[in-house]
């Protein structure tokens, strides 16, 4: 697990292993990842919100009816 990314599966496997050393190693890697990259989950949620805003604008443009000329 030395070069493994500290994402869900690696953390879940360490927790389920019952191996204290493996759990501590996974926790250390995860803490280093969070320290270096911040809260990735929160950043992803913010990104999804921005995507939804742009998709909403794009959809509104497609469905907007042009104004009638007089």
- For 10, residues 6+ apart whose C-beta sits below 8 A from its C-beta are 1, 4, 26, 29
| Residues 8-21, mean pLDDT to the nearest whole number | 93
Cα distance between residue 58 and residue 50, in whole Å: 12
CA-nearest of 67, 69, 5, 1 to 36 is 5
> Residue 58: what pLDDT?
80
Across the chain, what does the average pLDDT equal?
A: 85
> Residue 3: what pLDDT?
53
Position 28 confidence tier, pLDDT thresholds 50, 70, 90: very high
- Structural contact between residues 14 and 31, judged by C-beta atoms closer than 8 angstroms: no
Assess whether pLDDT exceeds 70 at residue 67.
no
Q: What is the pTM assigned to this prediction? A: 0.58
Integer-rounded Cα Rg, in Å, for the chain is: 22
């Amino acid at each position: 697990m030395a070069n493994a990314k500290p994402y869900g599966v690696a953390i879940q496997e360490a927790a389920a292993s019952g191996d204290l050393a493996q759990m501590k190693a996974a926790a250390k890697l995860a803490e280093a990842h969070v320290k270096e990259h911040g809260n990735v989950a929160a950043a992803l949620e913010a990104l999804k919100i921005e995507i939804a805003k742009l998709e909403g604008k794009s959809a509104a443009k497609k469905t907007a009816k042009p104004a009638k000329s007089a």
